[in-house]
Structure 1
């Protein structure tokens, strides 16, 4: 069963490669682009998987970008350039809302990934003989490749979480600094206004004293 599933992933990756062209970036570059282009970024769990309608429901654990109050969100895939999730479990999602903001679309070119399946598609483990024919791999070789790919996916998953948490912390710091600057400006303006009012009050009193002395 696992071998069949693995072959399906490979074939799906091949079809997607022909149908959708994603530029090759390093993971850091891809995260930066994702942070810039995505409407919403979160770490969560794929809790509902509908492979017939290509619909996916997620439970949100951590929100890194976007304004979204609900704890669940739904994604729908329509084209070969969309990310097709293949199993339930933990994932990092970079999504863009549809017009009425009821669904999100997840691009296959984004750094979105599950815990066991890294961004993009795994390298195709095919070798060819001198005549150009595919050299068949045995079950052990495929299992080894699958294990290595899962290990790489887990590493990128942990790395992405750390990067996104740093981003969120930096954004919170910037927000707090902006609030502090805003309050300081209000305080300065308030002091200036009070000083002007006090000065006007003093001038009014002095004028009254001068008028009474003159009379």
Structure 2
């Protein structure tokens, strides 16, 4: 009993970390802010991901802002930073330089993958779950349709954002 009490006390006294990303109301304003306060803005391809160390490597495909001495850049994931897998493919990245060849990506920022292009924006929300009915197959199909509509909207927002970044080059 003594050991269980000690274990519970240790677990309860440990600090916990959570990310509290705010919902964006004006996406254009946040895009301007992210661009202004980021050292690097680019499209990158995930070439390596190490979940254990919390790092991943991106190959810079198209650079919109900043300079990099190498086409490959290492990303150190923080508490709220995204940790993509190699299957995630391409990302739009807003980042700040930590050291030569190492950057930090804000988990509450606009960096996102093309595979999961959602932002914390009211213009591009993650789809809600479908309302359950007695017909489970129809529920699943309705859910897929809703999800694809939201994904198409999020991809359109991502496309427009990249077009704006290309115009600003």
Encode CA deviations 1:39-64: one digit per residue, 9 max, x unaligned: 10101212222333332211111111
Greater Rg over alpha carbons, structure: 1
Superposition misfits of 4+ residues, deviation over 4 angstroms: none
Q: Is the 8 A contact 2:41 2:66 kept in 1?
A: yes
Long gaps (5+) in structure 2: 1-17
After the TM superposition, which residues 1-215 of structure 1 pair with which residues of structure 2 at under 5 Å, given as runs?
19-80=19-80, 82-86=81-85, 87-98=87-98, 100-121=99-120, 122-123=125-126, 125-126=128-129, 135=132, 138-168=139-169
Encode CA deviations 1:163-206: one digit per residue, 9 max, x unaligned: 111111xxxxxxxxxxxxxxxxxxxxxxxxxxxxxxxxxxxxxx
Q: Secondary structure at the match of 1:19?
A: coil
Which structure has greater helix proportion? 1
Long gaps (5+) in structure 1: 1-17, 129-134, 169-215
* Residues paired across the two proteins, number: 143
Sort the Cα spacing of 1:77 and 1:141 in 2 relative to 1 into closer, same or farther, 3 A. Answer: farther
Which structure has greater strand proportion? 2
Greater relative contact order: 1 or 2 (C-alpha under 8 angstroms, separation 6 or more)? 2
Considering only aligned residues, what root-mean-square deviation do their CA atoms show, in Å? 2.5
Encode CA deviations 1:11-44: one digit per residue, 9 max, x unaligned: xxxxxxx632335142211210111111101012
